[in-house]
Structure 1
Amino acid sequence: MKPVDFLGGLKSTMEFQVFIDPLLVNSQSESALGSVTDRAREMAQGLHETYGQMKALADLGELPYSLHIARLCLYETLLSTAMVAAHERTGQMVPSELDLQNASVHIKEMIEHVGIQVLYVTYYYVVGHDLLQPFAYHKEMTEYDFFIGVRHYPYPAENLDIILPIALYRRVLRLQHRDGERVLAITKSGTRVYSWAHQCLIDSNYIEKRIHLSYVYQFDAVKDWDELSHTVWPEMDQARTDYIKWLDLPSEQSMLEVACGTGALTFDAGLYQHAATRGHLVATDSSVGMLEQAQQKHRKYGAPITVSFELASVERLPFPDDTFDVCIGSFFLHFVNPHKAISEMMRVVRPGGIVSVFQGYDFDVNKPFFKDWFHPILELTGNLNANSSGHFNANNRTTYMPSAENIPAWFHEVGLEQVRLDLHSSPWVFDNPDVVVQHIVRGVSFFQKELHELPWDDRRAVIEELIQRGQDVRRKYPVGERMIELPGVMIQGAKPV
């Protein structure tokens, strides 16, 4: 591997189930991870003693060797790989001893097949990308702000202290003296390196994986989802109830609900009643936080024994083929690979069984109030016209919802038969700015790709700006002009017999 084959290195990490994410490791406090960090350091030191000696890293080309970075590479790669595995297995970010051991095995396999230098170079450019991101956005910052991590959270200062001399040596940053201050600025070479590294991260699906992980973290953190949802979608409970009636399911079914969230469809809309006394309903979600809220609702509804819960992703359902009579889910396709999700849903139902989804689809956001409120993010999307009028281009949609045509096409593509559908819409009320921004950014997670382009601190600044702009919009537009009809489709198909 040539030292600049970053894309090849990223693909190797994916192949060997290794995930390099210093941001993930450093965003979790050591108190939360407990003794896991000490064990990870111990295991990483063992890897370093076996594979990480300087002579093994001779083929680095122009990249400098740093003992500190070599050790950090193994420690943060080991821990982030184990954390992702733990989250997929348990929904929690704290890995077990087995997760750490498995991560170590994956790293060893990668090193033995492609070499330690591939891992080191890949780590080097992931860190370099994160280092340059704030400079690509702001162009410069004082050296003091750099070292205290004003725009590089959650990277610790001691790591930035090591990285800066390398960045100056590589001439991706330059140090200037201005008005008695030492100022760091990105160079033309640094801009090119950042753009190239960012494209490699996109092409390897690394960015997509980071964003996907952020969806789950956000849902874990949302403790008041039902309250948020009821405020912005006041008629959604009725819409879900209408959906269950539309399905016209017989009682005593063996059912699987995917992406159950807080149990709005499970309990509030009455899905559990179709399990009756001899049926059963398994409700799944990939977020521990959402499942905990669903379990609280389970107790509220009398803890029916016909309902159970399981942590699971709709893209990797832990059930044998042909297990359920019905597999159902609502408002989740925009968070996952929809084709893979629907295929999995079909796999686990019996021949002749039903697969059904209630899903919102793409809608026109070319509304005056919406453009005023969300202008900072719409500008990031590149969906503002290049002309001087600056009007939002209604032909480019930014909601990340599937189109109305996509959803039935996916059902047919995976092989479902007897597909039928019905359209439904519900009002989306844009009133309380704090609630609306939380709902859009943390809840339905629109604009995650755009926010991911920003340095960590700037994401928070944009969110604060959106809340302030929402207050201005609320004063400027009457409530009747601050609404969008959210279109949805109820669809079901049958697995071939």
Structure 2
Amino acid sequence: MFIFPDLSNELHAMQDAGIVISPWLAGLSSEGRLDAALYSDMSTRAREFAHVHWTEEERVRVLHHFPSPDRIPQIAVHEIVASIAVYLAHERTGQLEVDEPLIEEAMKLVTQFVSEHSFGTLLQLYMLVTSWENQNALKHFGEIPERNFVLGGWHRPWVDYSLGEELMFAALLGNVEVIERDGHRFVRLTEEGEQALERASEMLEQAGYFKQRLQFLRISQFNLYDAYEQVADEIWPDTPQQRKDFVQFVGMHPGMRVLELGCANGPLTFEGGLANAVQPGGHIIAVDPSTGMLARARTKQRSLQIDWIEFMYGRAESLPFDAGSFDMVLGTGFLHFTDLKLSIPEMTRLVRPGGVIGSWHPLKADLNVPFFREWFAPLFELAAKRAERPRDFLIEPNTVNEALVMAGLIRVEERSMPVITMFHDPVKVVNHFIRGVGWFSEELAPLPWKAREDLIEDLIERGKYVCERFTPEERVFRFPGQAIRAKRPIR
């Protein structure tokens, strides 16, 4: 039986090198992310690269006595380069389109990684990730019709090639078997395959791969969510005024140098009154990890002709500014998307002594509300298998307070600012929360593609039924919301 070696160090090195092995990012042909000529050129380069680097010595080192799958090395290079290019496109432009310079940059990253760690290591990492995708789907469904497995329709619909070679190789390794029943053939995991899946899951979890995967999915969803502002105002009708209340609460005044985190497309910056409060004598640097959102914010800025705001890409956990650069560091609706152990110390570092940091964010809510429980029952059922509540990214009460004190901040003040949420339109609500902002993304991330899509469609249909049974007033949900501010002490 073939067993993957411990690749934990290699997984960390992969992430440090900017290598993205994410088949779900590499779905190119169906979305038109590459034109035909560029796609063909990339395929040729991938084939030539694999031919040069997949030597007999590497094959023996990686696969031992097992025969080498003919196309997998070439496909691995193709998918990895495509994944990196799509990821870079999301980071740079917030769009799906991939051009030749992005392909060149991706190829350079792959070449550098191979020169430092070997092609065999790159292939092992690719096989680890894709075998997890395949085996995780088989574990979830129990069995998959052979044709659906080979075409990837249930778990990897973005591929434009047959998974037949992967199936044969997995069967040769003893991880899957093909059975026949009533004239139809099905693929299922063997006991050895379940053990291999468990080992791969542990390795990927410990190396932070799943965390990175979830982060990429969230950012790509935000980038592509063009209807965010319109739908958000329908679902959260009180938030425009609450943002203005928050600006007053933190004590903003003209002339300040301000860092706004998680600015999205500018609902706090513009409509929330932040720009007006700072006025031309001040300066705002507004940061977001979604380049798509930033593009939309800059469009607003041009229409309003406000020149004392600078929009830039960045994450709250690590920012390229000197310590004490700002009079105030703040944001709304962003903190729950960050790693608090990193973001709050970073906010503290960036504000000057005597300056203020502030946030307005939703907190975890009691979801045991009749209409909600009925509408989102599939999520409760997933969580019940672990004897837990559904996983989401919202923050527990007191967590931020404790983190602010731990970071050395003083005069911590908070105000209850509930987030009134209207569950009005099933399609808009489900697409906003599930496909858009990624609420419950941790719950859904382990699901194979088809299972996730089926669940989302089920939520929409259930929502239609719930909207008939419950009045609009019964479908209003109050998330606890916390507005909080604190000062950096003067020493």
**TM-score using structure 2 length:** 0.90
Q: Which amino acid aligns with 2:10?
A: G
Deviations 1:168-208 (A, max 9, x none): 21222222222222222222222222232223222211111
Q: Among residues 304, 307, 310, which one is paired with 1:308 in the alignment?
A: 310
Q: Among residues 409, 427, 432, which one is paired with 2:425 in the alignment?
A: 432
Q: Which amino acid aligns with 2:141?
A: H
> 2 CA distance for matches of 1:168 and 1:384?
30
Runs of at least 4 residues off by over 6 Å: none
Q: Which amino acid aligns with 1:77?
A: I
1:227-238 to 2 correspondences below 5 Å: 227-238=230-241
Deviation at 1:357, TM superposition (A): 1.0
> 2 CA distance for matches of 1:377 and 1:287?
27
- SS of the equivalent of 1:26 reads coil
> 2 CA distance for matches of 1:344 and 1:250?
23
> 1 CA distance for matches of 2:421 and 2:259?
28
Partner residue in 2 for 1:11 = 12
**Aligned partners of 1:423 and 1:489 also within 8 Å:** yes
Unaligned runs of 5+ residues in structure 1 are 386-392
Partner residue in 2 for 1:61 = 64
> 2 CA distance for matches of 1:27 and 1:206?
22
User: What's the Cα RMSD here?
Assistant: 2.6
The farther-off stretch of 91-100 and 463-472 is 91-100
Q: Among residues 76, 82, 87, which one is paired with 2:79 in the alignment?
A: 76
Partner residue in 2 for 1:339 = 341
Partner residue in 2 for 1:119 = 122
1:374-389 to 2 correspondences below 5 Å: 374-382=376-384
Q: Among residues 87, 91, 95, which one is paired with 1:88 in the alignment?
A: 91
**Aligned partners of 1:285 and 1:310 also within 8 Å:** yes
Partner residue in 1 for 2:54 = 52
1:257 matched to 2:260: yes
Partner residue in 2 for 1:388 = none
Partner residue in 2 for 1:370 = 372
1:495 matched to 2:488: yes
1:326 matched to 2:317: no
> 1 CA distance for matches of 2:348 and 2:373?
40
The farther-off stretch of 337-346 and 376-385 is 376-385
Q: Among residues 456, 463, 466, which one is paired with 1:470 in the alignment?
A: 463
* Residues 283, 359 of structure 1: alpha-carbon distance in 2 compared, 3 angstrom cutoff: same
**TM-score using structure 1 length:** 0.89
Partner residue in 2 for 1:174 = 177
1:120-135 to 2 correspondences below 5 Å: 120-135=123-138
- SS of the equivalent of 1:282 reads strand
1:416 matched to 2:406: no
* Residues 222, 255 of structure 1: alpha-carbon distance in 2 compared, 3 angstrom cutoff: same
Q: Which amino acid aligns with 2:125?
A: T
> 1 CA distance for matches of 2:225 and 2:323?
33
- SS of the equivalent of 2:71 reads helix
Once the two structures are aligned, what percentage of the paired residues are identical? 28
Unaligned runs of 5+ residues in structure 2 are none
Q: Among residues 443, 446, 450, which one is paired with 2:439 in the alignment?
A: 446
Deviations 1:233-264 (A, max 9, x none): 12111211111111121211111211111211
> 2 CA distance for matches of 1:99 and 1:55?
31
- SS of the equivalent of 1:399 reads coil
Deviation at 1:115, TM superposition (A): 3.6
**Aligned partners of 1:6 and 1:197 also within 8 Å:** no
Partner residue in 2 for 1:356 = 358
> 2 CA distance for matches of 1:384 and 1:137?
15
> 2 CA distance for matches of 1:267 and 1:275?
11
> 2 CA distance for matches of 1:317 and 1:461?
39
Q: Among residues 292, 297, 303, which one is paired with 1:289 in the alignment?
A: 292
* Residues 384, 7 of structure 1: alpha-carbon distance in 2 compared, 3 angstrom cutoff: closer
